[in-house]
């Protein structure tokens, strides 16, 4: 009995040692974990992206500073050009004022400290407008086109004072910048203002069947737009004023 028990115990102890040896060998065979190796491609991709973004930021910064430098250069050149143009215009204005307003025609308005200038072949008739009198007859549309090409409009008679002035024009039949608009059923001037009740007092001979207005002596009439008549163009005159600037007298464009 005693011998059998001893054998059994020895067998159990040996099996336990064998298990320990097997576990140790298994541990050695597994080796180090593979997670650190698999993370290297991700690290490389992130590093590449960061480097690319950094390069792009540097390029944008260089581009920004270059554009800013070019903008300042262009702005400086524009300021120099503006100053040169202003100086040339001022010199030209002084020459015009001295020759035309002081040494020019005596009939210029307020000759001396103030004067009114009109383009060549245009006349100053006593107010703040310049007038061009045609020497040939044209249709209403052709007359309008010519005036527009001169940055002007066909004659407008919108005030009683203007009516008195136009009465002094050579006695001819002139097209007016006044037409009948069928859609609105009203007469309109070329500046898109409607004929007023006051204006109708000297334009009471209008006929909507003849949609283009003309002026003769004291009154406004209408006829077919295809007829050919004389015409008058008008536009604001250049008004010069002589005043003090930096302790000397210079000519300035007088604004309304």
Hey, CA dihedral for 141, 142, 147, 151, is it positive or negative?
Answer: positive
Q: What pLDDT does residue 47 have? A: 79
pLDDT above 90 coverage of the chain, percent: 40
Residue 209 has pLDDT above 80, yes or no: yes
Confidence of residue 54 (pLDDT cuts 50, 70, 90): confident
Q: What pLDDT does residue 89 have? A: 60
Q: What pLDDT does residue 3 have? A: 46
* Judgement on whether residues 141 and 229 belong to the same structural domain of the protein: yes
* Judgement on whether residues 229 and 147 belong to the same structural domain of the protein: yes
* Judgement on whether residues 149 and 181 belong to the same structural domain of the protein: yes
Confidence of residue 210 (pLDDT cuts 50, 70, 90): very high
Tens digits of residue pLDDT in 65-107? 788 777 777 777 787 777 777 667 667 666 666 666 655 555 5
Q: How far apart are CA 137 and CA 173, in angstroms?
A: 10
Q: What pLDDT does residue 182 have? A: 93
Q: What pLDDT does residue 12 have? A: 45
Tens digits of residue pLDDT in 146-198? 999 999 999 999 999 999 999 999 999 999 999 999 999 999 999 999 999 99
Mean pLDDT of the chain: 78
* Judgement on whether residues 124 and 176 belong to the same structural domain of the protein: yes
Instruction: Give this prediction's pTM.
Output: 0.59
Q: Which residues of 62-79 are buried (b: 16+ CB within 10 A; e: fewer)?
A: eeeeeeeeeeeeeeeeee
Q: How far apart are the first and last CA of the chain?
A: 140
pLDDT above 70 coverage of the chain, percent: 68
Which domain covers residue 69, as residue numbers?
A: 41-109
Average pLDDT over residues 115-125: 85
Residue 48 has pLDDT above 90, yes or no: no
* Judgement on whether residues 176 and 100 belong to the same structural domain of the protein: no
Joined together, the tokens standing for residue 237 give 């005159």
For residue 26, being part of any structural domain is answered with no
What CA dihedral angle connects 226, 139, 211 and 161, to 10 degrees? -160
What is the CATH number for 127?
3.10.100.10
Could you give the number of structural domains in the chain? 2
> Among the three residues 80, 109, 138, which one is the final residue of a domain in this structure?
109
Give the residue among 112, 94, 93, 92 at the shortest CA–CA distance from 103.
Answer: 112
* Judgement on whether residues 141 and 230 belong to the same structural domain of the protein: yes
Joined together, the tokens standing for residue 37 give 């190796």
* Judgement on whether residues 79 and 102 belong to the same structural domain of the protein: yes
Joined together, the tokens standing for residue 161 give 């004072």
Q: What is the number of helices (H) and of strands (E) in the chain?
A: 6, 11
Q: What pLDDT does residue 32 have? A: 52
CB 129 within 8 A of CB 234: yes
């Amino acid at each position: 009995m005693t011998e059998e028990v001893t054998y059994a115990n020895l067998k159990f102890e040996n099996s336990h040692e064998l298990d320990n040896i097997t576990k140790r060998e298994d541990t050695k065979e597994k080796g180090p974990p593979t997670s650190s190796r698999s993370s290297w491609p991700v690290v490389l991709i992130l590093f590449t992206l960061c480097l690319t973004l950094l390069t792009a930021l540097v390029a944008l910064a260089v581009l920004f500073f270059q554009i800013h430098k070019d903008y300042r250069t262009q702005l400086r050149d524009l300021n120099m050009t503006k100053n040169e143009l202003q100086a040339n215009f001022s010199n030209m204005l002084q020459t015009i004022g001295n020759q035309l307003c002081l040494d020019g025609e005596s009939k210029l308005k307020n000759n001396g400290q103030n004067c009114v200038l009109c383009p060549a072949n245009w006349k100053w008739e006593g107010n703040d407008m310049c007038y061009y009198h045609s020497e040939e007859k044209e249709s209403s549309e052709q007359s309008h086109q010519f005036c527009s090409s001169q940055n002007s409009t066909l004659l407008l008679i919108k005030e009683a004072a203007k009516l008195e002035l136009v009465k002094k024009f050579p006695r001819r039949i002139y097209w007016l910048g006044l037409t009948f608009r069928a859609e609105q059923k009203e007469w309109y001037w070329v500046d898109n203002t409607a004929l007023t009740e006051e204006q109708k007092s000297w334009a009471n001979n209008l006929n909507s069947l003849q949609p283009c207005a003309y002026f003769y002596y004291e009154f406004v009439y209408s006829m077919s737009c295809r007829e050919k008549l004389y015409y008058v163009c008008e536009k604001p005159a250049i008004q010069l004023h002589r005043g003090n600037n930096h302790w000397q007298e210079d000519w300035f464009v007088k604004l309304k």
